[in-house]
Structure 1
Amino acid sequence: MSHLDAVLAHIDADRDNAVARLFDLLRIESISTDPAYKDACRAAADWLVDDLASIGFEASRRDTPGHPMVVGHGGAEDGKALLFYGHYDVQPVDPLDLWDSAPFDPRIDETPDGPVIRARGASDDKGQLMTFIEACRAWKAVTGSLPARVSILFEGEEESGSPSLVPFLTDNADELKADIALVCDTGMWDKDTPAISTMLRGMVGEELTITGPSKDLHSGMFGGPARNPIRVLTRILADMHDETGRVTLPGFYDGVPDLSDEIKAQWDSLDFDADAFLGAVGLSVPAGEEGYSALEQIWARPTFEVNGIWGGYTGAGFKTVLPSEASAKVTFRLVGDQDPNAIQAAFKSYVESALPADCSVAWKSKDCSPATTMPVDAPEFALARDALSDEWPNPAVFVGSGGSIPIVGHFRRILGMDSVLIGFGLDDDQIHSPNEKYSLTSFTKGIRSWARVLDALSRA
């Protein structure tokens, strides 16, 4: 029997103990957004330090101005260096009356899709991070060591904006640098198909306010000769798309890559039902950029969206006002090598050049970030994909993400390394909602998956 086979057998035999350990962590009410739970967050960090120490990691709690970080180091002194990231903090449980059981009293529930672990944090992210710890525990129990150099970073503020993360990474960069990072805060494509997220969209956000007359005016007395900033704003925003759904901003598509045939074939094989996707939210007609599938539009194409718009009188009844101001919040989602600063500057220039006489614009800018695309041709990605494929019924796929995972950008910018994003959550896990759950299969096969990935990456 190979070392890996023995490790997998040990994981199966130790399943009940692994679940019990996860339950111990789930009972800790580590809600990072509420100061009332500060001690609970510290208790969760201490629990993880003790658990890592019990399997041979040099582990410590690192206090920050907010909630603590947990850092651990273990494994061989040479060979492949891996940094695993997860977070131990959880979302608030409100509304409590919608929970079917106490959110911090974990239990196993039977469902039509099989048994699930029910508790706040079961999927996001305690169950996920414990899959990796349990894989390390099994390797240590069977072989006495880990197959690679492994460092651990657990954060306690992910659900509250990570205010301490960037300073901590900057101050401890030399200690935390590795060959590659492993991030568990993602999910499966479906319950039988594991996924590695390799594309994360970036973002530019702006709030703009266009001012026309110096005060609100009576629309009967001034309507016609007076400039209406709502008309100005809506015309500018409407002109940001052409009739095919493409964004008209000059230079917007600079740096947008073509999707490789291999990745496109993988995505086509997923049998994504765009009609059902739209139907679930009361829509029926695709409205995005023509010539691209719904998955391509979400994962691999950039967008411009108006997130909010207001001006004039919006209360009950009518007030026949011609407003002084009109405002909107907008965001660009970016892909590939699009430059967020260049797009931000181009949008401001476009708006300002489109302003008619007697109008001005004021801006409130949101922090912007570039997209992140992983080098899927690097050996670590192929090895991880093959390892996952050996564990699950269907082969693993490389997928994109319509949103962002900031830690991945921080690892690249501050620590100079890419990330392999592997998680075992499912779309219906109800993270951030009442009755959060984590499939027992996700937990047990997640442990086995990480054991395989560790073995594979040790040979990279």
Structure 2
Amino acid sequence: MLESVLTHLQAHKQTHIEELKQFLRIPSVSALAQHVPDMARCAEWVAASLREAGLEHVDIMPTDGGHPVVYADWLHAPGKPTVLVYGHYDVQPADPLELWETPPFDPVIKDNKLYARGSTDDKGQVLLYIKVVEAFLKTAGSLPVNVKFCIEGEEEIASKHLPAFIEKHQERLQADTIVLSDTQMQSLGKPALMYGLRGLAGFEITVDGANSDLHSGLFGGAVQNPIHALTKLLSSFHDEEGRVAVKGFYDRVLALSDKERESFKQVAPDENKVRTDLQVSGLYGEQGYSFYEQTTSRPTLEITSVSGGFQGEGIKPIIPNRASAKIACRLVAAQQPEEIMDAVEAHIHAQSFPGVTIQLDRQLYGNPFITPIDEPVMVAAAEAYEATFGEWPVYTRSGGSIPIIEVLGRVLNAPVVLMGFGVPGENLHAPNEHFHLENWDNGTATIARYWDKLSAISFGEKV
């Protein structure tokens, strides 16, 4: 079955690329109101493509005030796992247009790269899965696994309506595992499995003093200065070794295994080059961890802005009545944003700051995500990559946050596999975005092999 599928994909590659060009010509920019009709047209295009591939129950499903989700399924493999394919059909704005070498919504192939907005993020990678389904159904008449699709239109605007959609349609979306291709390989020809993303807790601290700004000559030295109190508080958040000094901050952190730390050495950047590129005299962070570990796999507390007092030209000799700071904590499995902000608030109340009141305003929440690398679905993905690329993928984690991935895994109680076929330097979110077409071949082959390997995995009853 598998060989005939791979042969079909090769034989119809040019037709599939032409269809991808059609997909890319639709300016489905979710962030701009002027493109609302294009978003609807793009959802219709995705639905038609899913129907053409042989999927059933194709449905353009509304969200509560946002762009629609396109759903489809094929559920005729009794006793086999069910895979939910997640992706998105919306794209970033093309600005600045003057920096594009070719029109952003008029796809062009140069040097075996397809240039267009959305080519790598995420239309090219979404269509890979649809064409693999089509190849299986046209050659074998069946799939080795059951498949569902959930293709949203708001990923580029933080998936703001999707969490509620997933909760509402949990039963329909239920699956044994989830897969998406919206990440990158290590480099061209070198696969990578990203298995962890950091979460986020963002808040603002406000320190209030007197009921108005005060003359520093009349009141200085006798009335608490909110900036003094704030800077003392901020300096208490870290110890001399770069660790966060908030009690309980590290309580839930999962320790890195020797296997993980060894794998990171294959992808870690040259720290001297990082220092040189950033033009800093030295790197600084939690001791005992590499730069890569510090920025992907350890939690942080970063002060992102501080404000207070007169900010104009010259000096205004006052005691300001208010000072504030904004803070972003990047979290790792299994930390929880609410607990971290509770711990920070307790840390604040444990300090002594007479003459001021301090408030913490909680603003950003995002749980961290991780799928252990020895999870059977991860092993199957690694084996599929190896069969296609001739080498085992490296394991990576990201310092950034994609909260919807954690939501999918948690609500559906299913492991998530990030199986990317993008390549660093493909300019996602930037002018001249492109997709290496050799990864069209490699991507479809890897997905086909992955589903074939998944069919042998037994999933127990969910609790």
Q: TM-score if structure 2 supplies the norm length?
A: 0.94
- Which residue of structure 2 aligns with residue 72 of structure 1? 72
What residue in structure 2 maps to residue 61 of structure 1?
60
**Is residue 266–residue 394 contact of structure 2 (8 Å, CA) maintained in 1?**
no
Name 1:196's counterpart in structure 2: 193
Instruction: Show the counterpart of 1:18.
Output: 16
Question: What secondary structure does 1:127 align onto?
Answer: helix
Letter in structure 2 aligned against 1:292: Y
Contact persistence 1:75–1:145 (CA under 8 A): no
Structure 1, 199-208 or 278-287: larger mean CA deviation: 278-287
Retained in 1: the 8 A contact 2:377–2:415? no
Matched, 1:232 2:233: no
Match of 2:265 in 1: 268
In the other structure, the counterpart of 2:460 is: none
User: Structure 2 matches for 1:4-403, cutoff 5 A?
Assistant: 4-58=2-56, 59-64=58-63, 65-78=65-78, 79-110=80-111, 115-270=112-267, 272-403=269-400
Deviations 1:237-260 (A, max 9, x none): 122111111111011110112211
* 1:75 positional shift: 4.9
Q: State the distance in 2 between where 1:283 and 1:376 align.
A: 35
Structure 1: distance between partners of 2:18 and 2:347: 58
CA deviation vs aligned residue, 1:113-143 (integer Å, no higher than 9, x gap):
xx32111111111111112112222222321
62-71 or 346-355: bigger deviation: 346-355
Q: Which residue of 1 aligns with 2:427?
A: 430
SS of the aligned residue for 2:306 comes to strand
Equivalent pair of 1:312/1:326 in contact (CA under 8 Å): yes
Question: Size of the alignment, in residue pairs?
Answer: 454
CA displacement, residues 380-437 of structure 1 (integer Å, 9 cap, x when unaligned) = 1111111111212532122111122222211123212121111112221221121112
Query: For residue 94 of structure 1, what is the amino acid of its counterpart?
Result: D
Write the distance in 1 (CA, Å) between the matches of 2:416 and 2:118: 23
Cα distance between partner residues in 2 of 1:165 and 1:271: 33
Tell me how far 1:161 sits from its aligned partner.
2.5
Give the deviation of 1:271 after TM superposition. 5.2
AA partner of residue 446 (structure 2): S
Name the CA shift for 1:116/1:219 in 2 (closer, same or farther; >3 Å): farther
Deviation at residue 30 of structure 1 after TM alignment: 0.5
- 1:420 corresponds to which of 402, 417, 420: 417
Q: How much does 1:368 deviate?
A: 2.3
Question: Would you say the 8 A contact 2:132–2:447 is kept in 1?
Answer: yes
Aligned partner letter, 1:60: D
Is the CA contact 1:75–1:147 (under 8 Å) kept in the aligned structure 2?
no
AA of the residue aligned to 1:9:
T
Q: Distance in 1 between matches of 2:419 and 2:443?
A: 9
Change (3 A) 1:366 1:261: same
Contact preservation (8 Å) 2:116, 2:434:
yes
Secondary structure of the residue aligned to 1:420 is strand
Aligned to 2:444: 447
Q: Secondary structure at the match of 2:4?
A: helix
Would the aligned equivalents of 1:408 and 1:419 in 2 still touch at CA under 8 Å?
Answer: yes
1:209 Cα offset (Å): 0.8
Distance 1:142 1:282, change over 3 A: farther
Distance in 1 (alpha carbons) for counterparts of 2:169 and 2:77? 19
Q: Matches of 2:36 and 2:351 in 1, distance apart? A: 50
Q: Which runs of 5+ in 1 are unaligned?
A: none
Residue 284 of structure 1 and its aligned partner are, at CA, apart by 4.9
CA gap 1:318/1:443 in 2 versus in 1, 3 angstroms: farther
Is the CA contact 1:192–1:394 (under 8 Å) kept in the aligned structure 2?
no
Q: Is the 8 A contact 1:76 1:147 kept in 2?
A: no
Following superposition, the deviation at residue 456 of structure 1 comes to 1.3
CA contact (8 A) 1:212 1:358 kept: yes
Letter in 2 for 1:101: T
SS at match of 1:199: strand
Counterpart CA distance in 2 for 1:370 and 1:40 is 32
Aligned partners of 1:144 and 1:356: how far apart in 2? 72
Contact 2:70–2:152 under 8 Å retained in 1: yes
* Deviation sequence 1:17-53 (CA, Å, 0-9, x none): 1211111000001011111111101111111111110
Contact in 2 for aligned 1:199/1:373 (Cα 8 Å):
yes
Query: Cα 1:162–1:339, aligned 2, differ >3 Å: closer, same or farther?
Result: closer
Contact 1:299/1:400 (8 A) holds in 2: yes
2:366/2:401 contact within 8 Å kept: no
Instruction: Please identify, of 428-437 and 304-313, the stretch whose mean Cα deviation from structure 2 is larger.
Output: 428-437
Secondary structure of 1:207's partner?
strand
Please tell me whether the aligned partners of residues 301 and 328 of structure 2 are also in contact (alpha carbons under 8 angstroms).
yes
Mapped partners of 2:160, 2:399: distance in 1? 23
* Alpha-carbon spacing, 1:151–1:434, altered in 2? closer, same or farther (3 Å): same
8 A Cα contact 2:367 2:403, kept in partner: no
| Deviation digits for residues 96-125 of structure 1 (CA, Å, limit 9, x no counterpart) | 222222110111123xxxx32111111111
Matched residue type, 2:73: H
Cα offset, 1:267, TM superposition? 1.3
Cα distance in 2, alignment partners of residues 298 and 201 from structure 1: 9
Identity, % of aligned positions: 37
Work out whether residues 81 and 148 of structure 1, in 8 Å CA contact, stay in contact via their aligned partners in 2.
yes
Distance (Å, rounded) in 1 between the aligned partners of 2:14 and 2:313: 59
> Tell me, what secondary structure is at the counterpart of 1:7?
helix
The alignment partner of 2:243 has SS state of coil
3-state DSSP class of the match of 2:278?
coil
